[in-house]
Structure 1
Amino acid sequence: MNARPLYQSVALFGIYAIVCLCIAFYQLAVQTVVGWFTGGFVLFTLVEYLAHRYFFHLQPSSPFRARLQEAVHGNHHANPRQMTQIMMKPVIALLVFLLTSAVFYGLFGLLMVAFLPGFLLGYSAYLIVHFAVHAYRPPTNFLRQLWKNHHLHHHQNDTKNFGVSSPLWDILFQTRYKPNDRSTVR
């Protein structure tokens, strides 16, 4: 798999996050930056879960919605190792996050410079985990459970395990799928 789009996106968002954090630490108290940064990261994991559950897996009640679902996420389930189905193109992702920046600035004002880097770190973690889950064998460390969760989502029950970078919201919203047979995922 070609990881170049992943590296480009993570580098782009990393630079953007560093600039925001420099402004944040110059303008705000450290505890304010840490709190809002953490809030941005946690909110991203919720946005990831909600988007995956309610948008990417929307029930096609019309031909238009069926085509939309297939284009947005159905192709990813059909071809899970195809890089173009794993993540947005970096340019599109940048446009989305510039729009997101404007929304966060409208909501939070200057606090956005502390909040957005946490959100971007969450998105970068999602990109890295999602790419790795589809490109590599599961590790033998604590990240193995993320591989198992996503593998189960793709191959056993696509109505469960919507969190890619974290199982937190699947646990809280009771959408976590754990089969009785532990040997089903290697």
Structure 2
Amino acid sequence: MSEKRFTVDLNKPLAFQVGHLGETYQEWVHTPILTVESPRFFESDFMEMLTRTRWWMVPVVWLPVAIYFIGMSYTMGHTLPVVAILSVSGVFVWTFLEYCFHRFLFHIDTQSYWGNTFHYLIHGYHHKHPMDGLRLVIPPLEAAIVIAMLWYLCRVLFTVATGSALLGGGLAGYVIYDTTHYYLHHGQPTKQSLKSLKKYHMKHHFRIQNKGFGVTTKLWDSVFETLPKTKAADKSG
């Protein structure tokens, strides 16, 4: 007699249920539920609060920090042109990190209880509930942990003046990323460039979820050959 498959109860907190799905987790998490309702993750109200973030919190919290680090670079002796070049370089580096995080961390293939739980909490929930506006941008506490690690790396690799400009630019790139990501899900773009980006990202969610990892740019998908096929290519193949 075959073992009965575990079924997630959407009316109960989800975080510690999804691990029980085992090898069926990947199929479950990539079958989206298209409602704007925000499902409950935890029994604890405090833990639940930490998982919900309004989109405007990202620029409110992190743009001043980005400006502070960029200003620090200038006050420590770099000229304005050098600060500008380093800051733009930081934005560019962020686009690469954005791609790497999304491809290699957010889309890890898991089957174990804790692996499934970890994946669900960092990104799987977004594929299961892609229209949940309260869990679309990264919560400030989670972002602060990553930013602290990046600042430590900058201190190891560069002088404080150089590292602060790079980190400030990277933070600006992150703000652009998270606000763009929110807009692609909930906005109605009129410009062709944003329409194309929205279509590209929706294809990642609903058609080819192991391709199209870039959110703000398709550059790294092109470089690393993870561009999703077009319909024309699908037909010719």
TM range (shorter): 0.7 to 0.9
Distance across 1 between alignment mates of 2:139 and 2:53: 11
Aligned residue-pair number: 181
Whose helix fraction is larger, Structure 1's or Structure 2's?
1
- Aligned-pair identity in percent equals 27
Match of 2:208 among 157, 164, 167: 157
Match of 1:16 among 38, 46, 65: 65
Distance across 1 between alignment mates of 2:141 and 2:122: 17
> 1:139 is matched by which residue type in structure 2?
T
| RMSD value, Cα | 2.2
Provide, for residues 103-156 of structure 1, a one-character-per-residue CA deviation record: whole Å limited to 9, x for no partner. Answer: 212221221121011101110111111100111223333222210110000010
Q: Does 1:140 align with 2:191?
A: yes
1:5-84 matches, within 5 Å, as 5-26=54-75, 27-84=77-134
Distance across 2 between alignment mates of 1:103 and 1:85: 28
Query: Are the aligned partners of 2:58 and 2:179 in contact in 1 as well (CA < 8 Å)?
Result: no
Query: Are the aligned partners of 2:86 and 2:165 in contact in 1 as well (CA < 8 Å)?
Result: yes
Distance across 2 between alignment mates of 1:61 and 1:32: 47
Deviation at 1:4, TM superposition (A): 6.8
> 1:57 is matched by which residue type in structure 2?
H
Q: Where does residue 177 of structure 2 map in the other structure?
A: 126
Distance across 2 between alignment mates of 1:158 and 1:8: 28
Deviation at 1:23, TM superposition (A): 2.0
Deviation at 1:41, TM superposition (A): 0.8
**1:66–1:95: structure 2 CA closer, same or farther, 3 Å change rule?**
closer
Match of 1:108 among 158, 163, 169: 158
Deviation at 1:71, TM superposition (A): 2.4
3-state DSSP of counterpart to 1:81: coil
Distance across 1 between alignment mates of 2:141 and 2:112: 30
Distance across 2 between alignment mates of 1:109 and 1:139: 43
Query: Are the aligned partners of 2:55 and 2:136 in contact in 1 as well (CA < 8 Å)?
Result: no
Deviation at 1:82, TM superposition (A): 0.9
> 2:178 is matched by which residue type in structure 1?
L
Larger deviation, residues 165-174 vs 3-12: 3-12
Query: Are the aligned partners of 1:5 and 1:90 in contact in 2 as well (CA < 8 Å)?
Result: no
The structure that has the greater radius of gyration is 2
Query: Are the aligned partners of 2:94 and 2:170 in contact in 1 as well (CA < 8 Å)?
Result: yes
Structure 2 residues without counterparts, runs of 5 or longer:
1-35, 37-51, 233-237
Query: Are the aligned partners of 1:133 and 1:147 in contact in 2 as well (CA < 8 Å)?
Result: yes
> 1:94 is matched by which residue type in structure 2?
A
Q: TM-score, normalised by structure 2?
A: 0.70
Distance across 2 between alignment mates of 1:64 and 1:54: 17
Distance across 1 between alignment mates of 2:190 and 2:114: 40
> 1:127 is matched by which residue type in structure 2?
D
Distance across 1 between alignment mates of 2:178 and 2:196: 16
